[in-house]
Amino acid sequence: MRVRFVLSQIGNGLRRNMAMATSVVLVTFISLTFVGAAILLQMQVANMKDDWYDKVEVSIFLCPGDSFAPTCAGGEVTEQQVEEIQGVLASEALSDYVEEVYVETQEEAFVAFQDQFGDQDWAQRITVDQMQISLRVKLVDPELYQVVADEVAGRDGVEEVVDQRSILEPLFLILNRTTVMAAGLAALMIVTAILLITTTIRLSAMSRQRETSIMRLVGASNLFIQLPFMLEGAIAALLGALLAIGGLWLGVRYIVEDWLAGTVQWVNFVSTSDVWVIAPILIGIGIALAAISSLVTLSRYTKV
C-alpha cells in the first residue's frame, strides 16, 4: 500500500511539473555529456601516450657537408666521429637509458624522404648527397631523453639532437586543454542542473502542501514524506544520465569508430566499450546530483 502511494505521488508530481522535469532531464543530459566527453578525451590522451611514447626515438642528426653549426666546422661527419658517437651511446654510463641504436645512412634517408615527399616537384631536385646520416636511438624510458641528449649534444660531428616527444607534446597539450574546457563546461552545467532540480523539487513540494500536512497529522515520518520528491529528482536525473550515455555511445560509434578510426588508422581511438566503462560513473553523478538537490531543498522544506 505504501509503495503504491509513493508511486502515485511520484506520478502526480511529474505530471504537475512536466515542463520543469523535462528541463531537468535535458540539463542533466547536457552536463553529463560534457562530463563523459571530458573523461573520454582524457582516456584518449592516455591511449596515445601509451602507444606513442613507447615508439618515441631520439634522432641524432650528424653533420652534412654544408652545415653552419659550430660542431660541424670541420665539414661532413667522418667515420671516426660516427664510431665515437656510437661508442658513447653504447657506453656503460648510458646502458640503462639506451635500448637500441639504428644508423640511417644517406641512401636510407633518401629513400624515406622520397617515400614521404616524392610526389612534390621540389623533392625531385634533392639528391642522395644532400641527405644526412643520422642515429635513431630507442630509449628505455622516453621521459629520460635529456640524459642521452646531454651526452651527445655539442660533440664534433653532431649537428642536432631531436626528441620526437617535442612533436607530440603540442598535440597532447591541445587535447588536455580541450579536456579542461569540457570539464569546465560540465561543472557549470552541473551547477545549473542542481539549481534546476532544487527548484523542481521545491515547486513539487509547494504544490502538495495540503497532502504533506495531512501526512504529518497522521504521523508519517519525514522520510516517507520526502521520498516521492527525492525519487522524482532521481528519476529525472537518471533519465538525463541514460540519454548522455546513449549520446556518447552514438558519437563514439559513428564519429570515432566508423569515421575517424577508418581515416586515421595510426591512432588507437577510444571505443564504445570505453563508454560502457564510464557509464556507471555518469549514472552515479546523476544520482548524486538528485541526492544533493533533495537534501538541500527538503531539509529546509521539512522545517516549515
Task: Give the pLDDT confidence of 74-123 residue by residue, as tens digits.
Answer: 888 888 888 888 888 888 888 888 888 888 888 888 887 787 776 777 76
- What is the rounded CA–CA span in Å between residue 84 and residue 108? 21
Residue 265 C-alpha cell reads as 588508422
Report, as an integer, the average pLDDT of 247-256.
93
pLDDT in the model for residue 272: 92
Mean pLDDT over all residues of the chain? 78
pLDDT in the model for residue 19: 63
- What is the rounded CA–CA span in Å between residue 270 and residue 265? 13
Does residue 224 contact residue 3 with C-beta atoms inside 8 Å?
no
Nearest C-alpha neighbor of 43 from the set 183, 175, 171: 175
Q: Which residue has 571530458 as its cell numbers?
A: 38
Provide the whole-model pTM: 0.65
pLDDT in the model for residue 245: 95
Where do the domains of the chain lie, and which CATH numbers do they carry? Answer: 2-52+169-301 (no CATH), 57-163 (3.30.70.3040)
Report, as an integer, the average pLDDT of 47-63.
77
198 to each of 9, 12, 221, 281, 290, how far by Cα in Å? 18, 18, 21, 22, 8
Nearest C-alpha neighbor of 193 from the set 14, 11, 29: 29
Percent of the chain residues topping a pLDDT of 90 = 9
Burial status of residue 205 (CB atoms within 10 A of its CB: 0-12, 13-18, 19 or more): buried
Does residue 129 contact residue 106 with C-beta atoms inside 8 Å?
yes
Report, as an integer, the average pLDDT of 186-210.
72
Confidence band (pLDDT; 50, 70, 90) for 249? very high
Report, as an integer, the average pLDDT of 267-284.
91
